[in-house]
Amino acid sequence: MNHTQLTDEITLAARAEKLGETALLMGLIPSFVVRHFPDSWEFYIPDETAQQLTPEEAYFQLKRLVDSAEPTLRERRS
């Protein structure tokens, strides 16, 4: 099992941004927006609500999306 160590909000936000890029490259989402502020990051993933996500919410939503798609991609490659 792959465990990522998330020790602070900046590390978590950077990892969420990387997962967003991965989801985008995999074709799981059409786009995403990250707004960088001096004290926080805001994430927007297009869907019906397009609500602002915290780094924690974005990380877990994108992680679940990418992880659920990986077995399907592996099956297609076989």
| CA 17-68-26 angle, 5° bins | 55
* Residue 49 pLDDT: 65
Look up the pTM and report it: 0.77
pLDDT (0 to 100) of residue 9? 84
Strand partners, 52: 44
Would you say residue 59 has pLDDT above 70? Answer: yes
Using CA atoms, how far apart are residues 37 and 60, in angstroms rounded to an integer? 21
pLDDT at 77: 54
Residue 68 has pLDDT above 60, yes or no: yes
Taking a C-beta distance cutoff of 8 angstroms, is the pair 43, 52 a contact? Answer: yes
The predicted structure's pLDDT at residue 39? 85
Res. 1 pLDDT band, cuts 50 70 90: very low
